[in-house]
Amino acid sequence: MRYQIEHFTLCDGWVSSLFIDGVPETFASYDEALKELNDYFSELQEDVANGSIEAYSRNDFRIMEITE
């Protein structure tokens, strides 16, 4: 099984949010994807703290199993 991190958008619904060379990044386990998502939010927090961006809602992200 592989997993990917998805982000909810108003226009397209749930879409893959991380890419490597134009291909959605996938993870070998749910735990690996969760670690990446946690790291991503930690990095975002630095930008939120210095006022560069507004905070993201964690509810706008999910980890999904890829069945393809």
CA distance 50 to 68: 40
Q: What is the phi/psi pair of residue 65, to 5°? A: -75, 135
pLDDT of residue 53: 85
pLDDT digits (tens, 9 = 90+) for 2-29: 999 999 999 999 999 889 998 989 999 9
Residues 6+ positions from 66 with CB-CB distance below 8 Å: 1, 2, 3, 4, 26
pLDDT of residue 57: 85
pLDDT digits (tens, 9 = 90+) for 33-42: 999 999 988 8
Q: Which residue has the higher pLDDT, 30 or 58?
A: 30
How far apart, in Å, are the Cα atoms of 17 and each of 35, 50, 51, 67? 15, 23, 22, 17
